[in-house]
Structure 1
Amino acid sequence: MTQPVPAHIQTHFNIAINEIDQMLKGEKPLSFKRAIYLVENAYYEGKISWKEYNDEILSIKPILNKMIDDRNLRQYKTAGNWAVFTYMSDSIPENDFKPYPYDFENFMSDSDKESCMVSRLLKTRKGNCRALPYFYKILADEVGVEAFIAIVPMHCYVKHSDEQ
């Protein structure tokens, strides 16, 4: 028998559901970043600051744009994808030589439900097959390049077009 969800917890999920529903109905702008935040904030019972979450992500945007401009890549439609991937996966000065590695200890999120969350990735710089692609998608949106989440059984991938 399942236990009822306590009202104070259900309230946070209702807020998330309502705002995401408004996005899907066109009443609010679609935002993958905001939708991920809303779900994670509901899980954390309203304890995540949107301002801090958003500011941390926004602080990366000029770094990615500078990476593109410093290498004269602006003419390529995949320049943003390159910048996001490089920033996340390589040990480079732009990320203080701290890439975002795959969390092999919690890749299934079975022992640690938070390992699939972007908010956790922002704190630990580690993520699994959900947190890392979600973060990639959020950063790609920030620099204005296409990226799509492909969901397969027990895994998520990022898809994007090539130059052609």
Structure 2
Amino acid sequence: MGVIRSIISFLFITMISLSAYSQAAYYREQLRLANMLNGRDSLDLQKAVYAVENAYYNGNLNKEAFDRQIDMYAEFCKRILLSGDVRYDGKGDERSAMAQCAVFVFMTDTIPMQMGDTVVGHLPFEYNFDDYSGREDWSNMFVSRMMQTKRGNCHSMPLLYKMIMDRLGEECWLALAPNHMYIKARNQRAGWYNIELTCADFPTDAWLTASGYIHLDAIRNGIYMDTLSVRQSVALCLTDLAQGYLHKYGMRNGSFVMQCCDTALAYYPNYINAWLLKAHVLSRFYQKEGKLELKQEMDKLYTKIHELGYRKMPQEMYLSWLYSLNEYSNEYRIKKIVSFNKGDYQMR
């Protein structure tokens, strides 16, 4: 019996040590993101996204492979850009507008390319309807997973698009809607427009607000449909880090999640997902402990969230909202931003 107890004790201690070691990756990446936000390190969305995903994989995500894949995608988009098949009628911003088209086509369309004497097709990224919110496997929210499987969602798709555009040296912006993230861009011909990668279209702001879940106060307070700066995008990644921690380790004492949210809010004060995550933590602890002070703090947070304009959108309504773009695409689409004719691309 003594030997069995010793073995059990050894295994228990080993499990605790391994858990502490893997959690350490989260604290390292939390510090890395915080240093980007406070100016000790340069702001870099690609590094921030990698930090979030690397923590989930216990520090074992291959950074060279991650960066190399995005570089390869950017090179592919350059070939599309230089192919002569992208058309744009505007003046003065041709390079930027055509880059938007090249990346959009790369992510959403099948493109023939010549590899030696053989023509093969680059396949588009698809929407992961099986686990679009990462409920079954949180890594389905990751850019690295999407690059492996060619299936993504409204989190990984716009992040990858933005990182490719950054590699091309051109501008676009992340933007938020309820339960959703998309791309905002602009050119002289169309002005500001939205890029929806989940269904490969260019919906107007009218479609985004048509569901009724974007309250006027939410637009006024900038929690939805506004462009995110690089700093705000990195703050968003800090909240992603907290959500990954929750999925992997649970609430624990709530301190890690709260620290991430508080740091994100210090640089992005109206970031609704950070406020919602803080309220979720307090709600869980109030349900467990029933303390009046927790209830009071929780009520304050939910009041603020409501005042910011947030209205909860059920998951089934979100899917219906997403499908509606395809159904009413002619009504809610921005027409003729750029045009593209498929050609063959010599990849070297």
For normalisation by structure 2, the TM-score amounts to: 0.44
Tell me which protein shows more strand as a share of its residues.
Answer: 2
Taking the aligned partners of 1:34 and 1:6, their CA distance within structure 2 comes to 24
Q: Which moved more, 1:87-96 or 1:35-44?
A: 87-96
Offset of residue 148 of structure 1: 1.4
Taking the aligned partners of 2:19 and 2:186, their CA distance within structure 1 comes to 44
**CA 1:152–1:62 in 2, change beyond 3 Å: closer, same or farther?**
same
Per-residue deviation, residues 20-75 of structure 1 (Å, max 9, x unmatched) = 12211222221111100000000111110101100111112222112112227683
Are 2:206 and 1:161 aligned?
no
Partner in structure 2 of residue 119 of structure 1: 144
Are 2:77 and 1:77 aligned?
no
Q: Tell whether the 8 Å contact from 1:100 to 1:125 is kept in structure 2 after alignment.
A: yes
For residue 129 of structure 1, the aligned residue among 132, 154, 159 is 154
Are 2:166 and 1:147 aligned?
no
Taking the aligned partners of 1:80 and 1:98, their CA distance within structure 2 comes to 19
Q: Tell whether the 8 Å contact from 2:165 to 2:172 is kept in structure 1 after alignment.
A: yes
Higher relative contact order (CA 8 A, sep 6+): 2
Q: Report the number of matched residues.
A: 161
Partner in structure 2 of residue 66 of structure 1: 79
For residue 100 of structure 1, the aligned residue among 119, 125, 129 is 125
Offset of residue 103 of structure 1: 0.9
Offset of residue 76 of structure 1: 3.6
Taking the aligned partners of 1:32 and 1:113, their CA distance within structure 2 comes to 20
Q: Which moved more, 1:39-48 or 1:95-104?
A: 95-104
Superposition RMSD on alpha carbons, in Å? 2.1
For residue 41 of structure 2, the aligned residue among 22, 28, 34 is 28
Whose radius of gyration is greater, 1 or 2?
Answer: 2
Report the secondary structure of 2:175's partner residue. strand
Tell me which protein shows more helix as a share of its residues.
Answer: 2
Taking the aligned partners of 1:161 and 1:16, their CA distance within structure 2 comes to 33
Per-residue deviation, residues 68-95 of structure 1 (Å, max 9, x unmatched) = 1222768342221111110000000259
Q: Which moved more, 1:16-25 or 1:126-135?
A: 16-25
Taking the aligned partners of 1:27 and 1:20, their CA distance within structure 2 comes to 10
Q: Tell whether the 8 Å contact from 2:74 to 2:165 is kept in structure 1 after alignment.
A: no
Q: Tell whether the 8 Å contact from 1:80 to 1:144 is kept in structure 2 after alignment.
A: no
Q: Which moved more, 1:116-125 or 1:8-17?
A: 8-17
Q: Percent identical across equivalent pairs?
A: 28
